[in-house]
Structure 1
Amino acid sequence: MAGGDNVFLFVPNVIGYIRIALAAASFYLMPTQPGPAAACYGLSGLLDAVDGHAARALGQGSRLGAMLDMLTDRLSSMGLLLNLALLYPAAAPLFQLSMALDVASHWLHMHCTTLEGGRSHKAVGGAAHPVLQLYYRSRALLFLLCAGNEGFYGCLYLVHFGEGPPGEPGCGHGRGGPGAKLGVCTAPYWSMGRLDRPVHSGLWGVYTGLDRSIVVYGGSRPVHSGLWGVYIGLDRSIVVYGGSTLVCGGLRGSLTLPFAPCSGAGGPGLFRAGLWLGAPLAALKGALNLVQLLGAARRLAAIDRAERAKGR
């Protein structure tokens, strides 16, 4: 085999191998190191655009590269969703459904495209749904929806560990390590910091949780937990748990609590803002996956009918 004919060493395919290594590294880091994990996962996703440009520029498109690209995308998303299912167990069935729909729709679509003579799942023919034709033929739309979908799930992963920069308005307390100092959080200001122990409140008040892991305990039993919930303390025995994240606020007066420094900026954190922006794009991508699955099943049934007609 001549060196130039070694498909395994085509530049786009080598980029694909690097993507696989980065995705594997991100999966290893996800349980304990969100920053490096997100960096590896994000770089792997960015290289997805690079390998396509390299294939077109160098004339090194191949069936192996197309399959490698599709499988890397699917397995990378699956690995992230598996981690999200561990971080958000209540939403695990939704993540499982998303994984199943993503893998099934792309595999069936790829199989149909191959039977129809296409070299890649992006090479849709006239038999495909018009929406899918627009999606795969418009590189800008393809990039927007894929990036928005990955961004949504990536931010959902990151927001579990913290809001990200910028955080909520500052609370006027000193700098210090987790739980190192007492600070005063006065309404309507908010604080988000890292804790090494539960926060005990001695005030009646209203507490707004910004993290679904927050649980408010009254005595020894949980009172309420949820996403963007409102928690009303009814006695002095209330303990606010937010994993390692503190979100505190007082309806009136002030709360004196041990917390780490605020970021000093206004508005939601970067990760939560990315979550909001990516949510509609992720929902649209999921709807396209459903259209793709149903359309591929219809096309495969048409192929079966044509083959049976020839055999008569």
Structure 2
Amino acid sequence: MASAYGGPEALSVVEVAVPEPGPGQVRIAVRAAGVNPFDHKVYSGAFGTDPARLPLRLGTEAAGVVTAVGTDAIGPAGPVETGDEVIVHRAPGAYADELVVPASSVVPKPARLSWEEAGALMAAGVTAVHALEAIGPGKGETVLIHGAAGGVGLMAVQLAVARGATVLGTSRPAKHELLRELGAVPVAYGPGLADRVRAAAPEGIQAAADLVGTEEAVDVSVELVADRSRIATIVAFEHGARAGIKLLGGGPGADPGTEIRAAARLQLTAEAEAGRLRVLIAGSHPLREAADAHRQIMTGHVTGKIVLIP
């Protein structure tokens, strides 16, 4: 929980009462909660500093075991029952050892995923699905994914490859081998990026997704992709708006993709259960060390996802 606006030093663990689930609700014993860049933005002041909103409960995704259900507890995959192993998204206040959430937020946990993997699947996964739906890379096309080694990027790479697209992914050179392992053609970001992309894809780029938020990512995409309706950003809302590309997510003027993201949850669990989608975990921290997890993710150089373990 954040008791003030600012940096990770504002975070602390506090005891709060957890209510019994009401109609259409379930209670979850959390086994792992995913950490996302958005979580830090919530208390950083990026969305305002209204003191009336404090303290702020953090987190949006978790995995755990159902410990109690209210009446009519029906999830996207059917009735939810005590003892079910589940993934929860969206899960406001997921940095917790117990949660009460709508049953509509709960989907079955793939058996082959660890708790850490399950807790880190959804936020990045649904964002990646939304981005790909927005730009529509198809079989035989070439797509450029900026920030390909981040949490969302790694999901987008795998999903685009599964669609039959050729994927070029930008990242630091240290992460290139991982991108190759996932089926992408890695390209180092930085000065000269457009030329390196042209050299790697001489027949051109049909679509691009900016998952990192730099002006370079937007500018290079606009330079290389003829149709701006096939370029999207999930971060660079101001620069993206000026460039006339699609804005996705929670930023000003952006398409939240609510229905697409909700529908994506069962798609993602099916892909993970079948072994076609990997969730890469960069590290885990005890819940009481959430501040350290945020310091790590704020570096911008995390490969995969960080999770908290209650």
State the TM-score, normalizing by the size of structure 2: 0.23
State the TM-score, normalizing by the size of structure 1: 0.23
Structure with the bigger percentage of strand: 2
Structure with the bigger percentage of helix: 1
When Rg is computed on C-alpha atoms for both structures, the one with the higher figure is 1
